[in-house]
Structure 1
Amino acid sequence: MKIGIYGSSFDPVTNVHLWTASTIAHRCKLDKVIFLPCSSKRQDKHMQTTDAHRIAMLKLAIADNDNFEIDDYEFQQLGWEIATYQTLRHFRTKYVEDDIYFIMGADLLVDIGQGKWQKSEELVKENKFIVMARINIDMLSVIGRSPILRHVDDGQTFHLVDKGLTMEISSTYVREEFKLGGEARYLIPESVYAYLKDNHLYR
């Protein structure tokens, strides 16, 4: 099987997250997309709501898609041990017979190429990536300018995807709308919208 690991805060999950996962699965012929919510224990993240709420919203959002799954692996780890390098090693061990791809945006590719991620060199040497285009980022140029990236660019390590439609609505935008009493109803799944209202989140 071909499996995509889609890591994000999902704080909250939005329709763009779901559309992205579906588009990537279709374009890259993935058999499964695993949504990997970041743990609030991560040293490089600051969540706006609890892990339990984010998992609950994800479950509601993907309930009708058999090709989508959730894995709370990072929630079970000690905070100082959580890193994408360790997480992907776990999934390669868990799905040893399958092809594993880490799904990320081009902005994260820039950070890895600059060595900002823990074990950046080992990360790109040992894994494969599906990289989504971002506005004003030339992905080929990012790879070419980075010694870390260009020396592993064998045509298989990085699968560069331009979704063909600019949809950059972020979780931050949704949170801001809720906080200010705005309207974000059709930016998130209806079930998630109801959950947010019922639990008075982001207000």
Structure 2
Amino acid sequence: MEGFIAVFGGSFSPVTNAHLAIAEQITNLYDIEKVIFLPVSDLYEKRGLMSAEHRVEMLKLACESNTKFEVSEIEVQSTTLLNTIDSLRRLRKQYPDHPMAFVIGSDNLRLIDTWNDFQELMDDYYFIVIPRNGDNPQKMIRKNPSLLANLESFLIPEGYIRNDGNSTHVRDLLKVGKSVRYLVPEPTYFYLENNLKGWGFNA
């Protein structure tokens, strides 16, 4: 069997060092051949979302130095808002011989059983669960019969997974003119400086 393709979805508004650290750490823990960053479309209604053009460019710059990282524009190029299963089906066609895992934060465990085509997601894909805000993913899964019945679909990294310095915090700093250096990848930092001064950027 070929190595995993890990799909890391999110707004990445902007991509941060924490995002890259998570991707690197799961690559070390599992047999992951490639991490595909999957930024959401501009159709995704989220407050403070930077335009897809900027988010994609910052992601590409951040991933340039790692041959295992790449960026997919499946969602940002779609004229309709795609559900997780829609995106994964399209990516599966590109990598038919690879097992595929979707990276989620543990907060998603509270609603994942309401996602479109939940059982297909459980049957055909793995989910790498990154703990957030003190969550205990194992306990959350055990408490939900729908998740417990699909226990083998979940991969929960053992040990410490860095998950600090989120995009919201970075945007808040930008808006008040504070520096985000060392919170975002260096290419992202300079991109923000050169292209997004309207966000209150201040080196």
- Specify the code of the residue in structure 1 equivalent to 2:80: G
TM-score (norm 1): 0.90
CA shift, 1:202, in A, is: 2.3
TM-score (norm 2): 0.90
C-alpha contact (below 8 Å) 1:5/1:100 kept by paired residues = yes
After superposition, residues 169-180 of structure 1 pair within 5 angstroms as 169-180=165-176
CA distance in 2, matches of 1:35, 1:166: 17
After superposition, residues 22-37 of structure 1 pair within 5 angstroms as 22-37=24-39
1:181 aligns with 2:177: yes
After superposition, residues 1-203 of structure 1 pair within 5 angstroms as 1-42=3-44, 44-46=45-47, 48-80=49-81, 82-113=82-113, 115=114, 117-153=115-151, 155=152, 157-162=153-158, 164-199=160-195, 200-203=197-200
- Specify the code of the residue in structure 1 equivalent to 2:68: N
Alignment coverage as a number of residue pairs: 197
Structure 1: stretches of 5+ with no match in the other structure? none
CA RMSD of aligned residues (A): 1.7
CA shift, 1:25, in A, is: 0.7
CA shift, 1:163, in A, is: 5.0
C-alpha contact (below 8 Å) 1:4/1:30 kept by paired residues = yes
CA distance in 2, matches of 1:47, 1:166: 24
Percent identity between the two aligned chains: 35
C-alpha contact (below 8 Å) 2:13/2:50 kept by paired residues = yes
* 16-25 or 137-146: bigger deviation: 137-146
1:30-79 deviations in whole A, cap 9, x for unaligned?
1110111111113x544521111001101111111111011100122232
- Look up the SS of the partner of 1:102 in the other structure: strand
C-alpha contact (below 8 Å) 1:9/1:47 kept by paired residues = no
CA distance in 2, matches of 1:79, 1:47: 20
CA distance in 2, matches of 1:47, 1:127: 30
CA shift, 1:167, in A, is: 3.7
C-alpha contact (below 8 Å) 1:4/1:100 kept by paired residues = yes
C-alpha contact (below 8 Å) 1:132/1:162 kept by paired residues = no
Structure 2: stretches of 5+ with no match in the other structure? none
Change (3 A) 1:148 1:28: same
CA shift, 1:180, in A, is: 0.5
CA distance in 1, matches of 2:127, 2:63: 23
Change (3 A) 1:40 1:183: same
